Amino acid sequence: MRGMSASTLVAAWTKARRAFESAGLDTPIADARLLLQAAAGVDRIDIVTDPHRPLPEGAAARLDAMIARRLAREPVAYITGRQGFWTLDLDVTPAVLIPRPDTEAVVHVALALAKDQPSPRVLDLGVGSGAILLAILAERPDATGLGVDLSPAALEVAAANAARHGLGGRVTFREGHWGEGIEGTFDLIVSNPPYIEAEAIAGLQPEVATHEPRGALDGGPDGLDAYRALAPHVARLLAPGGGFALEFGLGQGPAVADVLAAHGLPVEAFKVDLTGRDRVAFGRKAHAA
């Protein structure tokens, strides 16, 4: 098919899928479909129910450009600019980590922790695209939030996502290092900090190692730097009785619990992710005696 543009939805899907299969990508069928949807402005149902529909003007060239980017191992979400998380369709750019389905476990825990708290004030440390904080605010119309990130470019993405989902009036964003300079207290503090051991990053799949922001991945030599840095802020900024929910990497649960306990934050339990592995440490700050 070299030199020829595929002319129908199914021909274009097949062309992209074959290119991705030849390159050994993990999910060639889904990747091809998602890129075709973005290039042709169609949805999954269109492709399945009307496969021989001619491609719209310009779609073949757009798809070819997207295929080339994907073959360079750029993640699909950066190419389409979109990623679903919880109930939200989020904008993503290479300035933010692509929100992962496993991180929805943080949202589950957070909603349960704040269940009986009217009008909870929520703090998200390392807000990235806004995934966790905006999912919580979408579920709790009485909640307000503050999202902090070191990256101004990430905060722009988060603010755009908040506005697009009608949540802009209940959330503020702040550039900063974890809780530094923040005053007041919060009823709920959530975080999915960088937790990959620095030396392990180069060995990750190229989609992550080459394309996702290093500042969203790198947890220092043992992967725990961010927990040590943010734990004192969580302890200071959490209202007595308030809940915390922190995501961590595989096998890091006990070490993260030790760091939090050292700052007076006892971990009640771990919540598992979609694959059944411990993923979120959660608990509450004690009420003053």
Ligand X SMILES: C[S@@+](CC[C@H](N)C(=O)[O-])C[C@H]1O[C@@H](n2cnc3c(N)ncnc32)[C@H](O)[C@@H]1O
Closest CB to ligand X among residues 12, 158 = 158
CB of 94 to ligand X, least distance (A): 12
CB of 182 to ligand X, least distance (A): 11
Q: Cα 170–174–178 angle (5° rounding)? A: 115
Closest CB to ligand X among residues 145, 193 = 193
Residues that bind ligand X (CB under 6 A): 96-97, 99, 103, 126-129, 131-132, 148-151, 154, 177-178, 192-194, 215-216
β-pairing, 82-85 vs 144-149, is unpaired
Closest CB to ligand X among residues 168, 215 = 215
CB of 97 to ligand X, least distance (A): 4
Phi then psi dihedrals of residue 87, to 5 deg: -100, 5
CB of 226 to ligand X, least distance (A): 6
Closest CB to ligand X among residues 249, 283 = 249
The CA distance from 214 to 191, in Å, is 17
CB contact at 8 A, 37 and 56: no
Closest CB to ligand X among residues 37, 192 = 192
Closest CB to ligand X among residues 20, 85 = 85
Closest CB to ligand X among residues 72, 153 = 153
CB of 200 to ligand X, least distance (A): 14
Residue type, 56: P
CB of 56 to ligand X, least distance (A): 33
Residue type, 130: G
CB of 129 to ligand X, least distance (A): 6
